[in-house]
Each structure stands twice: as structure tokens, then as C-alpha cells.
Amino acid sequence: MSKKLVCLLSPVNPDADIDIPSPEGDSPVIDGIIDDVWSLASQQFITTTVNGSDPGGPSDLSGSWWTLWDGDYLYVLVDVNDEVLFNDTALGSSWQDDSVEFYFDGNNSKGDSTDEDDYQFCIRWSPQANVAEQLREYFHSPDSLEGFVYAVTTTDDGYLFEVGLPWSTLIGGPPEGGQLIGVDVFINDDDDGGGSRETQLAWHAVEGIGWETPSMWGTAWIVPGRKASGPKPTNGAIVEDTWANIAWTPGVTAVSHDVYISDNYDAVNEGAPEAFIGNQVANFIVVGFPGFPYPDGLVPGTTYYWRIAEVEEDGTTIRGGVWSFTVPPKTAYEPKPADGAQSIATDVELSWTPGFGAKLHTVYFGDNFDEVDNAAGGLPQGVATYTPGTLKMAKTYYWRVDEFDAVETYKGSVWSFTTEGAVASPDPPNGAVDVEHTPILTWTPGREKCRHKFAGIQRQRESRC
């Protein structure tokens, strides 16, 4: 497949090795196909041998990469030329096969060793046409892959890797235009399937230890765009108050800002009149305070959506993305174990996120839904945990937490969980629809159960108890 990108020049920051522009329109679609929007990014060549032998030529191993950003993702596209492709090692050693590694340093620390802001992502070519294997991250827990989207496709010359890395995971929220980050890209080549690579090339690092040495990674500049960016509160934030100061980083060409705020996503997204707050010069606005939008205060338990459209001197409007923040409810929420959880230990400690403004918590616990739902007069406590004692196996329990904010008591929902030992994890799940006519039924068996009955059929397990 022939691929060609027209690379436009971006504003140049003398402190950076690469500029990362932001699209004014649609962002890349992560599907392993090069969208036209990638022509905004500058092509970077991956040429330095840092491990193994030099490639036998461009068709043996060579590569280029591009990067873009918007308020939600850092986008990376890597095009690898590789005439012989292998995928035959364990997933945990993806770097020994034909693969791409991407390195990220959120604060551009240039340290001699990695820290909590540093990430190493790796994904390898897959022999299954246009099917991406699991993306790996080696410096953090699996949570570091939350929200990632990626694709790997085989090309006439090798393979193509495209990924969207969420800012919320990388740095906790959108970056600000002008921010510097550390980045590097490595590509690995396995020509004989022997379980180890023959060559590793890097974009910026010059030695093999570059994989664990951020000081060897390049510096990238987040080019300020025409869109509003850097929302405060950050997108998806929890605001524990009934008012908020909303702010953003203006687009570089904006002279004023159209502000949209509502608890209705569609109204904000579509620019409905009821969501339009007004046009203003300042890049901040107070909400939930007398004399400002929502003068009676923000409502607990409500998610608010907002969007900024940047207005330029000639009247051109640059539409921004929809952001949100949530004022938590007065009631307890986020129970642990989760509502309906199965196979919970019999010595479990219960916990929850306290309701907004809660000072005291009253817990009701039992094995009867109605009794827990109707209970009253319990003893309040100051901590958001509760230990019910040793529970019976294979039994469903119910619990409720009422919150008191020094003025009023807020009755909580009834949650439930089932202790270990019960049949769990049915597949297809309970209530599933559109199931094939001849499904294979599976489940996690109850503890010490040697016989299973289902659909009028009884089968004896062959395994020993």
C-alpha cells in the first residue's frame, strides 16, 4: 500500500525537537488508516540503531512517525517498513518481535531514571489481518491503559501503528498549549523468529539504555491551537461545591469566547439557545453564585457540560469539544464491593464514597432486602468503612448507607453482594439477548460442588473435588 503524507510546517519552539499541532476540525480516527488530518503533523524518521545490528536496508527495517493532539488524546502514527514479520514470543516480551515502542514523559523531567510521569507502551505486529494485539505498558499497572484506542494494520511494506493516548491517564487532564513533554519512538525487528530481535532503532535515544533513561528522549512542544484547551476543572472532574470557577486556555487567534453550559449534553453539543451563556472576552466564568449562571447554586448529583467556541477577529468561530464536571450527590455512592458483586470474601470490609458534605454515616446491613431498605434508627459513625464480621459462604447480603450533613439525613440506595462459594460469572450473562441458538454455557462453580444441574440436564464433573 502506497502511503504519502504532505507535512506542513508548524510554529517552531527552539527548545523542542518536534512540534505537536492540534487539528482545527476532526481529529484522527483510530483505525490503522492514514486520515488526511495527519498531513498537519511533521514527519519524523526513526534511524538510530540502539540495539543489535544495523538494518540490511530500508526494506529490512526503517520507519517514520507523526503526532497530533486535541483536548482528549495524544495521537501517534508510526509507519514501519519491514519485509519479514514475526510474532512468536510471549505477549509480555512483545519487544522481542516486530513491534513499536512509544515513550512518554509528562513533565519532560529529563531524568536518568523513570518516575511516575513516565510511560513505556509497546504493541507488536499481528499476523491476523488488521487485528491489533493487546497494547502493553511496562512502567505502571494495567490501569495505565484505561481509555486507550489503537489499531495495527499490515501494509505492502510492513505495518502501520495508530494510537490515541488519553491525557486523563497520562497527566490527569488536557495539556495547555505551549507545554513541553518528553517523547521517543523505537521500532524492533525480528527476522528469523528465534525469540529475540535482531535490530532496534530509535528516533531520539542514542543508546540501548534509552528505554529507561528519559534524559535521552526527545522534547515535544504542544503547539497552542485555535481551539480552547486546558479546561479547569479538568474534563470529568468531581467538584465538591455548589459553585465553580470555570476557566480555559484561549485559542491563539481568539478575541472573544462563546460560552455554553447546561446539564444537558445535547444542548451544549448542538449549541442550543438555552445552553448559550453569552459571548465574553475573559477566559473564565463563575457558575453557581448570585449574579452568575445558576445563581441558586449547582445541584448535587448533577453533571454539567460546557463548551467554548472561540471567536476570531474576522468573526470565524472555532468550535471546541464538550467538557464536563460533576457535583457529587448528597447520598453515598461508589460502593466497594460494587453493587451486585459476586465471589466476595467472607471477611470483607465495606467502603463507599461519602455523599457531598456528609459528616456522619449510618450503615444498615443484613440478608433481607426489605429489612435493610426499611431500617431506621441506626448508630452513626464517622468513617466511611464498615466491617460486618465473618459472613456465611454462598449467601447474598444487602447494605445501605445514610448520610448526614449536619442539617439533613439522606437515605441511600440498597446495595448487594454475594459471598464466595456461590455459582458466579454465568456466560452468557444473566438477561443476555441475541444469544446464538446453540450457546456453550459456562460459569464459575460454587465451592466444593461436584455436580451441576442446568436446563434439566445433570452432568458429573470429571475433575476431583
258 and 320 housed in the same domain: yes
11 located within any domain:
no
In this prediction, residue 174 carries a pLDDT of 82
4 located within any domain:
no
Say if CB 171 and CB 179 are below 8 A apart.
no
58 and 199 housed in the same domain: yes
Per the structure, the complete domain to which residue 179 belongs is given by: 18-222
In this prediction, residue 13 carries a pLDDT of 76
465 located within any domain:
no
106 located within any domain:
yes
Q: Distance between the two ends of the chain, CA-based, in angstroms?
A: 56
Number of structural domains the chain divides into: 4
404 located within any domain:
yes
In this prediction, residue 460 carries a pLDDT of 42
297 and 283 housed in the same domain: yes
In this prediction, residue 393 carries a pLDDT of 93
CATH at 73? 2.60.40.1190
Q: Tens-digit pLDDT profile for the chain (465 aa)?
A: 334 454 544 446 778 999 999 988 789 999 999 999 999 999 999 999 999 999 999 999 999 999 999 888 999 999 999 999 998 888 778 889 999 999 999 999 999 999 999 999 999 898 875 555 678 888 886 666 888 999 999 999 999 999 999 998 899 888 888 899 999 999 999 998 878 899 999 999 999 999 999 999 999 999 988 889 889 998 889 999 999 999 998 998 999 999 999 999 999 999 999 999 999 999 999 999 999 999 999 999 999 999 999 999 999 999 998 999 999 999 999 999 999 999 999 999 999 999 999 999 999 999 999 999 999 999 999 999 999 999 999 999 999 999 999 999 999 999 999 999 876 667 777 777 777 777 778 767 666 555 555 554 444 444 444
Question: Of 166, 195, 222, which residue is a domain's last?
Answer: 222
Q: What is the DSSP letter of 354?
A: P
373 and 298 housed in the same domain: no
Q: Where are the beta strands (DSSP E) in 328-456?
A: 333-336, 341-344, 350-353, 360-366, 380-381, 385-386, 396-404, 409-410, 414-419, 424-427, 442-444, 451-454
89 and 180 housed in the same domain: yes
146 and 274 housed in the same domain: no
Residue 210 backbone phi and psi in degrees, to 5: -60, -25
- Residue 264: CB atoms within 10 A of its CB come to 14
25 and 148 housed in the same domain: yes
415 and 443 housed in the same domain: no
235 located within any domain:
yes
CA angle at 206 for the pair 200 and 211, rounded to the nearest 5°: 60
47 and 180 housed in the same domain: yes
Question: Of 222, 243, 268, which residue is a domain's last?
Answer: 222
Distance from C-alpha of 370 to C-alpha of 7, rounded to nearest angstrom:
66
Say if CB 119 and CB 167 are below 8 A apart.
no
Q: Are strands 414-419 and 341-344 parallel, antiparallel or unpaired?
A: parallel
9 located within any domain:
no
CATH at 357? 2.60.40.10
Say if CB 175 and CB 69 are below 8 A apart.
yes
244 located within any domain:
yes
Residue 292 Cα distances to 269, 287, 289, 298, 394, angstroms? 21, 6, 6, 11, 54
